[in-house]
Amino acid sequence: MQDELHAAGHLEFQVLAVAIDNNVEAIRGFAENITFPVLIDADHLLTELYAISNVPTVLLIDEDDRIAMPNWSAYGTDTFSEFTGVSADRQHDRIRRWVREGDAGISSEDARAAVGDLTPEEEAARLHFRLAVALQQRGDADGADRHFDQAAALAPQDWTIRRAMMPLRGEDPFGQGFLDIYQDWRANGSPYHGLMGY
Amino acid sequence: MQPQAVIVSSSGTVSEQTLSSELGWTLKPEGLCREEVCVLVPDRARLVSDAGVDLETFAELMDRPVVVDPVAGLTAIGAPREQRRGALNDLHAPDFALPDLDGGVTALSDHRSKKRLLVAFSSW
């Protein structure tokens, strides 16, 4: 989309992709032939700063650092549209319109109400996750497990905690453990810090 | 000022020098200072002792979340909460800088005065 909009003369449009991930090689695989910057956020700093609880989460930020569209569950393709009930094409049209006309299609009032703040528990879970990653790098597997467990207990419905730790603990993030978390998340009302199905 | 990666400190304290180099704040007679801004320190003895600057007290003064692991000798300090609240309530995008795949560092503010689509994604 960046190439398309640049070709149409909208050179002021810039995509920034942030991987909430410490698997740099896997991210490098995704990023082949990509022309925009790809950032690596192994410590999940962004999920704290913007109250992000799942990926993909998209934000539209204008020339004056104003958030035109807050945390938004938006997709590049229709791969998940059966799950999400949202057409990626419609979301892309919304982005194009914002770039061309400056209208993201959401009122300031709705944008301000769209994202609930992190709870103190969700906030602390991010710090425990960060400590677990640091301890794992030191080779302290027990210490890492202790903090991963605390993080999961503090934020059981947060995908950037629960699912993100799975590959770090040798679990398959697409396996049974994922389905268990998914069912639990659904049973708890599918909580998401932002706009879903929009 | 983004959240801090983990700080190594066996006692939960850091030297004034580390406070300045790692966390960007300098202890002065008027309080904790960064550039032109100073934060008052009502109870200085609680913040600073012979062991150094207490990280939990520092985080509390700055309204930043903190988790200390005394066994591992590690402390994690989050971002000032007002930054996230500024994003959620005032729709002001807080700046951040992270390593990029090209081996450099990219900040949101490197692309100021552009319309930016920020996407958080992952391999998991």
Taking the CA of residue A137 and the nearest CA in chain B, the distance in Å comes to 12
Query: Could B76 and A127 be called an inter-chain contact, meaning their C-beta atoms sit closer than 8 Å?
Result: yes
Tokens of B79: 């971002």
Provide the pLDDT for residue A83: 65
Q: Say whether pLDDT at B77 is over 90.
A: yes
Final residue belonging to a domain, choices A113, A135, A169:
A113
Chain B environment of A27 (Cβ under 8 Å)? 101, 123
The model's pTM is 0.94
Q: Do A98 and A158 belong together in one domain?
A: no
What are the backbone dihedrals phi and psi of residue B43, each rounded to the nearest 5 degrees, phi first? -120, 85
Sign of the CA dihedral running A20, A26, A28, A29: negative
Task: Give me the tens of pLDDT residue by residue for chain A, a chain 198 residues long.
Answer: 888 888 888 888 999 999 999 999 999 999 998 999 999 999 999 999 999 999 999 999 999 999 999 999 998 877 766 666 678 889 999 999 999 999 999 999 999 999 999 999 999 999 999 999 999 999 999 999 999 999 999 999 999 999 999 999 999 999 999 999 999 999 999 999 999 988
| Sequence spans of domains, chain B | 5-92
Final residue belonging to a domain, choices A113, A138, A168:
A113
Nearest to B96 among A49, A68, A99 (CB): A49
Provide the pLDDT for residue A86: 73
Contact B47, B54 (CB under 8 A): yes
Query: Could A131 and B96 be called an inter-chain contact, meaning their C-beta atoms sit closer than 8 Å?
Result: no
Name, in order, each residue with C-beta under 8 angstroms of A4's C-beta and a sequence gap of 6 or more: none
Domain CATH number, residue A89: 3.40.30.10
The mean predicted confidence, pLDDT, of chain B is 94
Query: Could A66 and B91 be called an inter-chain contact, meaning their C-beta atoms sit closer than 8 Å?
Result: yes
- What's the distance, CA B117 to chain centroid? 25
Quick check: ipTM above 0.90? yes
Taking the CA of residue B29 and the nearest CA in chain A, the distance in Å comes to 31
Chain B environment of A48 (Cβ under 8 Å)? 3, 78-79, 84
* B11 pLDDT tier (thresholds 50, 70, 90): confident
Q: pLDDT tens digits, residue range B12-56?
A: 999 999 999 999 999 999 999 999 999 999 999 999 999 999 999
Domain range for A58: 2-113
- The total domain count for chain A is 2
Q: Do A32 and A108 belong together in one domain?
A: yes
List, in sequence order, every beta strand (DSSP E) within A38-181: 38-40, 57-61, 67-72
Query: Could A46 and B96 be called an inter-chain contact, meaning their C-beta atoms sit closer than 8 Å?
Result: yes
Provide the pLDDT for residue A87: 80
Q: pLDDT tens digits, residue range B48-74?
A: 999 999 999 999 999 999 999 999 999
Tokens of A44: 């999940």
Percent of chain B at pLDDT > 90 equals: 88
Contact B120, A57 (CB under 8 A): yes
